[in-house]
Amino acid sequence: MSANKKALVTGGTRGIGRAIVKEFAADSDYSHIAFVYASSDERAKELVEELKPTGKEILPYKTDASSFEQVQQTVTDAVGKMGGLDVLVNNAGITRDNLLLRMSEQDFDDVIKVNLKSVFNFTKAVLRTMIKQRYGRIINISSVVGIIGNPGQANYVASKAGVIGFTKSLARELASRNITANAVAPGYISTDMTDKLTDEQRDALVKNIPLGRVGDPQDVAKVVRFLCSNAADYITGQVITVDGGLTM
């Protein structure tokens, strides 16, 4: 399968998600791209306007990714309007960092709901369509901290480690249907989340990165695009780290 692909990206208006939406829009294989966002209508409108010159159909959906019902409605509408769905990128994510001693139950629950349950919600919602057409590419955005851990992020790390386990089970379940599932684990990428770091914190991080720089959202988006291309047809159940060598 090549031309006329349809993709859906969650967390699509900022950072890595926005870069992924733009990467698909620049690819001649894609005709329709739906993206999901949680809050900013303004950012969503800006992205749609920015991508108008591509001539692709861009569909924005304001959806609570942690709500099973809302996700079902969004996917049903998107699949109906696009005439199918070939690619799902689960990228929605939040942080509520704190040492475990000070972390509230609410902060733990919110992060698990948005970062992990949303992956279940969207994947379950797209499966019938992908199984019926015997084709699908599912990419789940995890994080290197889901592999190595991080102090002050027990909730976030648990959610991202969960995404990796979910992806591997999914890959085994769906391989016979020509549906692949892979996880991408970014390291330190320049986004709204990492912009909160002080210069000192950033310098300390960069010292641990062999390539000597913080990553760019496009670094992740290019890997996602590759995993959804025909060149990656024989890759499933993998965790690809995009981290400048941080975790090697």
HSE of 161, CA atoms in CB hemisphere, 13 A: 12
CA distance 232 to 180: 9
> Is 61 tagged catalytic?
no
CA distance 53 to 16: 21
SS3 content of the chain, % helix, strand, coil (to 5): 50, 20, 35
How much is the CA Rg of the chain, to the nearest whole Å? 17
* Structure tokens that stand for 36 in this block: 């999901």
DSSP helix/strand/coil, 55? coil
From 30, 37, 135, 156, the catalytic residue: 156
Q: Helices 118-133 & 154-174, crossing angle to 10 degrees?
A: 10
Catalytic residue annotation: 156
